[in-house]
Amino acid sequence: MPKVEETRLEIDLNALAHNYHVLKSNLPANTQIMGVVKAFAYGTDSIVMGKKLVSLGATHLAVAYIEEGMRFRRRGLDIPILIFYPQLEDLPKLLEYNLTPSVYNFHFLENLNAALIEHNVIDFPIHIKINTGMNRLGFDMTDVNRLTQLLSANKHVKVEGVFSHLSAAGMPEENEFTQLQIDNFKVAVEAFKRNVNTSFIAHLCNSSGILSHPEAAFDMVRAGIALYGYGNNPEEQKNLQVVASLKTRIAQLRVIPPGSSVGYDRKFKAEKTSKIATLPLGYADGISRIYGNQKAEVLLHGKKAPIIGNVCMDTLMVDVSEIECKEGDEVLIFGKQHTALAFDKEKQSIPYELITRISQRVTRVVINKE
């Protein structure tokens, strides 16, 4: 249940469209785009974002778990949806809702195949994940020959896609490693073409890959964080527009004398007469305690105000001693004019973490729907 209208996450669909076209312009004309909308579309609104991406031309969507994919099916979206981390206990739902699993090890493949046999399913579409150096999920390069032999004789699954994930595409100093991953992926793709079929979709690039290594676009790319307005380095960031803006209003103002403390554990003690604003959001809304004690700044009337003291569950306090303001004035936590990078001035985390943590009790407001 949303908490209060005064605290809201504004989602700008014009910014999403702008970012989509920036990414598209970096790719060969025939390269498809898979829109990654896992984790409530990076903390925004998965259904709204997914539908908009489809209208913009995305041919596939991707989520982390089967339950996320089911939400889209229930809302009438019949576009192919890739499930990055399908869970064995949810395989019946995977089949029922016609969701496409990422198959990343032999154990999952065996269980999926058993479920398909049980339900008498033929040519069920799957995407095979190859580990080219990320060492997170995926079949190792040494598994490829055995894997392709198994798949070539399997009538229950159809290899619709083969993919991998770049681990450092946004880091120029890691270009040699990125090229190694690209080369490994090419080897795997050729093995599937020889031994399984030639009609699958190959996809490797994530957001940084699209922006930094478009030569590795293959048949499709997976656009994630860049769609939401963030890159992994300044060069990637410069042409993107932030989609989500977290805003609130001053709940209370007070002036405290020197020596007075603010918040739990008295972590802030005023060295001079100070004006303090209390804002109605806290760590239960996704603003972690790591951002307290001058580690982050909000924007008020175009001026930066540091968070002081410990962040509370439902509130946080900022020092507005140098800013003319009143109760009820709007405060930008992060957004277009004050990005998640600017908010997190000590660089304690990454934009992914901050924006995906914004609680579902914060009201979502979609702007520029048309």
70 labelled binding-site residue: no
Written as one string, the DSSP assignment of 181-238 is HHHHHHHHHHHHHHHT-S-PEEE---HHHHHH-GGG-TTEEEE-GGGGT--SSHHHHT
Catalytic residue, chosen from 38, 51, 247, 275, is: 38
Q: Flag whether 313 is marked binding.
A: yes
DSSP 173: G
Q: What are phi and psi of 302, to 5 degrees?
A: 80, 5
| Marked catalytic residue, from 155, 264, 303, 369 | 264
* Spatial CA neighbour of 109 closest among 92, 88, 93: 88
Distance CA 88, CA 103 (A): 11
What is d(CA 181, CA 166) in angstroms, rounded to the nearest whole number?
7
Please give the span between the terminal C-alpha atoms of the chain, in angstroms, as a whole number. Answer: 26
Residue 171 to residues 175, 179, 186, 326, Cα–Cα distance (Å) = 7, 12, 21, 44
Q: Can 267 be counted among the known catalytic residues?
A: no
Contact present, 282 and 314 (Cβ < 8 Å): yes
The partner residues of 256 in beta bridges, in order of sequence, read 274
Q: Is 264 a catalytic residue?
A: yes
Torsion angle defined by CA atoms of residues 79, 83, 89 and 91, in that order, rounded to the nearest 10 degrees: 40
Say if CB 227 and CB 243 are below 8 A apart: yes
Number of H helices, E strands in the chain: 12, 20
Pick from 239, 209, 240: which is nearest to 27 by CA?
209
3-state secondary structure of 167: coil
Q: Residues annotated as binding site for substrate?
A: 136, 313
Binding-site residue positions: 136, 313
Catalytically annotated residues: 38, 264
